[in-house]
Amino acid sequence: MTTVDVAIIGAGMSGLSAALALREGGKSILVLEAQDIPGGRVKTVTQPDGRAYEKGGQFFAHYMTHVCDLVARYGLTRRKVRKMPGAVAILNGQRIVFDGDYPEPGFFDLMFADGADGDFPGSLLDWALQQGLDAQALAQFKTGCEEIMGNPLSELSFRSVRDTLGKFERFDDSMEFACVEGLGTLAGLMARDLGPAFRAHAPVTALDRREGLFHLTTPQGTVLARQVVFAAGPAVSGKVDWQAPQDAWLRDHSRHFLAGKMTKIVLRYDTAFWLGSDFGSAGQTDEPSDFSVMDASDADGGLDCLAAFCGGTAAMMMKGLAEDKVLSRVMDILEPMLGPMVRDPVNVVLTDWSDHPWVRGGYDTWARPWAKSDPWAPLREGREGLHFAVSELAAEYPGLIEGACRRGREVAGRILSGI
């Protein structure tokens, strides 16, 4: 039996950031990770071509200082992502070329316009339908947002989405950089730094409070802790048996949330055949809904690739299909945007994050519409030594890798200062 100052449930970027900050602050810690490797929604694989491919979270920007600092601290290399002007959308069967980037940020601005009702109680779709958008604008908004959020807009709380977007200092250039060695590699180096304070294959199946200590049950034995940081998503909390009476509210709290459904496909090519075309840097379609693709190439050359994202409806259409069937469907969607050469990648990495057993989905978790109280509120506050460090609770850039790092350090700071 192990006793520590703080037990951390989950070794995503939030849990790892909290663990390192707590250890630097003099606390004894133990990170309990259900999977065989750390990283959570960040995962890197190296293919026979010798390149690192990101199966999960990938992009960051110069103003995302925590990620930038970690990449530099561990001696990894950041590369600038190529971004050509323009975007393509296929909406209601028509191919439309835009001068700018994705149109969603323009719609997001409507949420914060003068006179906007920030306390609108319904779903994001309910709100959009009240904006008087024409059919094309509504299709743009719906497919773009549903891909980002990984769920039908009819199931997402407008208030929760607005609150999340209000914590972004900026939207532009959020996909400015990627890590050459992979952010999953970064997570592995952070966990290696923790030494025996990191345990893989250690899901917490039950949590109780007795005699002033938390009792955490894992396949590797019981862990005793004075405080606990829950750094997994709220949709995962339903996998824990919350035994203490003061934690009983968590037994069904996960039903208030939806994890995003996402299938990500990275396609590498011998050459960026789309350069010089009207594609620009991104494309999206409403048939199927929730699909987008972006140029994820190295701005300096040497790596030409596209990253396609099947969110929500598109992800569920692909679910259960063999990889070759998924790829065939994706190519049918991409060809009208990019032409027939898109069917000839030299390497493909496909990952289905939907209904993942431990992170539940990719990439974000969202609250359902609520009547009386914000389901994020009790998680934001924490209770009696139980703290929640999921990335969506970050004060800045929630749901992103940067937000995860910031939330982990924020919770660690609260513990270290005795709050």
CATH superfamily label, 2-42+60-76+181-256+371-416: FAD/NAD(P)-binding domain (3.50.50.60)
Q: Tell me how far apart the terminal alpha carbons of the chain are, to the nearest angstrom.
A: 28
- The pLDDT score that the predictor gives to residue 105 is 56
CA neighbor of 312 nearest in space, from 280, 288, 279, 338: 288
Neighbouring C-alpha atoms within 13 Å toward the C-beta of 236: 26
Q: Are 156 and 123 in contact (CB under 8 A)?
A: yes
Tokens of 43: 């995962």
Q: Are 140 and 103 in contact (CB under 8 A)?
A: yes
Q: Are 336 and 90 in contact (CB under 8 A)?
A: yes
CA–centroid distance for 35 within its chain: 17
Rounded CA-CA distance 53/387 in Å is 33
Residues of the chain with CATH 3.90.660.10: 87-176+261-352
Rg (alpha carbons) of the chain, rounded to whole number: 21
Coil vs helix vs strand at 286:
coil
249, 315, 362, 374 from 255: Cα distances, Å: 11, 21, 17, 13
Low-confidence spans in the chain with pLDDT less than 50: none
pLDDT tens profile 394-405: 999 999 999 999
Q: 274 — phi, psi (to 5°)?
A: -80, -10
pLDDT tens profile 219-272: 999 999 999 999 998 888 999 999 999 999 999 999 999 999 999 999 999 999
- The pLDDT score that the predictor gives to residue 141 is 86
Question: Cα dihedral angle (194, 197, 202, 204), rounded to 10 degrees?
Answer: -110
Coil vs helix vs strand at 191:
helix
pLDDT tens profile 344-354: 999 999 999 99
Rounded to the nearest 5 percent, the helix, strand and coil shares of the chain are 35, 25, 40
Residues of the chain with CATH 3.50.50.60: 2-42+60-76+181-256+371-416
CA neighbor of 358 nearest in space, from 257, 250, 240: 240
CATH of domain 87-176+261-352: 3.90.660.10
- The pLDDT score that the predictor gives to residue 375 is 96
**DSSP string for residues in 50-98:** S-EEESS---B-TT-HHHHHHHHHTT--EEEBP--S-EEEEETTEEEEE
